[in-house]
Amino acid sequence: MFLPLASLFFALGIVFSSPYIGMLRDYLSLSFGDYFNLFIYILLGTTFIAVALFLSAHIKTERLKRYSAAGAVVLSLLLVRRALISLDSRVALIELIHFAEYGILSLLIFYALKGRLSNRLACCWSLMLTTAVGMSDEGLQWLLSSRVGELRDLAIDASGGLIGQLFLLLVIYPRGVIYRASPRQTRSFFLGLSFFILLGGLFIDQVQRGYWVEDRTVGRFKSRSTFSQLRQLQGERLHLWSRNPLLLREISGNNREPLWRMEDFYLTEARCHTRWRNQYEEEGDLYRAVKENLILTKWYHPYISLTHQQWERRRMQDYLKKVGQQKEQPYISICFQYLYHLPRRSVYWLLVFALAGVPFFLVFRQARAGRKNKGFTKNGTH
């Protein structure tokens, strides 16, 4: 009973501590200063040495096979580091913490299920439940203004669980199945897989769905809102922010976001375009700076006007002269690259339910075959 409860509380701890991870990173960054990167390397090196000592004490038989498997797991870990983890050390620290958390969670879930299921089925359940917790975590971060939830972060979380399960299945328990999974256990897993696919579909639809907004004068950019919704949001935010000076002072300030405030996606998009506009201007890339300013002026005017970040007309005219004919070239903003232009919701959910129906159909088919076999057995005995 201890391990299931430990897994549950550890999962809840991961989800509800996510808003505070940024505070931990800032504290460590201030504490170590210029030695922050060295701190991360020491942390990784200590972890590697601890795992190596654990393997040397644990592996007594089939050493060549199991050490080779451990090498393959380490190689997989390096591939995940290269493909998913950010090069920015401040961001990488948070991502590595999440990676380790979900690796530990997958181990806890495995040991909670071990003895009740075959090792391979326990690994599959562990990976599926770990990824489901990751979806809940990223979904919560998506709702909060202090954090960002996206599919790449979910891939990091799931990779932590996958590496943990590969380590267990290939290194700790290389013989795999302790006993054959019963038909009932297999059916339960396929039912769980159906619900997992539906949960994944809901996560992608809510967190990753975006729309291309196309305008001949400004180019193309991604938004969580459609063309008509952005128009409506402009009027609503102008009315809300102009009537509420306290809220305006809060959104225009440089203070840390309140940890548990719900996110205003229109505000987040406006900030993103403003940040890139200012960065392009500092770098001397006036073409992109002008295009981002045109996006802000046409679609996010309430934000830049009420926070006094609107360019003066003379400044804009000067930049347009310097850009010249280049301003006629097509432009695609890089804000919110993680949003995807998905099919219409009716088509999308039809595809999701069709995919979730495959394991559900396998459950139905196996249950029907089991009833037939029972019928044949009864007839044979009579």
Q: What DSSP assignment string belongs to 165-220?
A: HHIIIIIISTT--SSPPPHHHHHHHHHHHHHHHHHHHHHIIIIIB-EEEEETTTEE
Using a pLDDT cut of 70, give the percent of the chain over it.
89
Reduce the DSSP state of residue 34 to 3 states and report it.
Answer: helix
Query: Which range, of 142-146, 212-216, 238-242, averages the lowest pLDDT?
Result: 142-146
pLDDT > 50? residue 293: yes
pLDDT > 80? residue 253: no
> Pick the residue with more confidence: 188 or 145?
188
Which residue, among 223, 224, 196, has the nearest Cα to 135 in the 3D structure?
Answer: 196
Query: Which range, of 180-184, 271-275, 330-334, 338-342, averages the lowest pLDDT?
Result: 180-184
pLDDT > 60? residue 379: no
Q: Tokens 């900030």 map to which residue?
A: 271
Residue 185's pLDDT is 83
Domain ranges of the chain: 2-181, 211-328
Residue 272's pLDDT is 92
Residue 177's pLDDT is 43
Residue 295's pLDDT is 94
- For residues 161 and 129, give the distance between their C-alpha atoms in angstroms, rounded to a whole number: 9
pLDDT > 80? residue 251: no
> Pick the residue with more confidence: 3 or 355?
355
Residue 377's pLDDT is 54
What's the angle, vertex CA 321, arms to CA 315 and CA 327, rounded to 5?
105
What's the angle, vertex CA 318, arms to CA 280 and CA 315, rounded to 5?
70
**Mean pLDDT across 59-66:** 79
What digits encode the pLDDT tens for the residues 354-376? Answer: 999 998 888 878 777 766 665 55
Angle between helices 286-299 and 265-283 (to 10 degrees): 160
**Mean pLDDT across 348-352:** 96
Kindly report the average pLDDT of the chain as a whole number: 84
Enumerate residues 6+ apart whose C-beta is below 8 A from 330. Answer: 219, 220
> Pick the residue with more confidence: 262 or 336?
336
pLDDT > 80? residue 222: yes
The 8-class DSSP code of residue 62 comes to S
Residue 290's pLDDT is 93
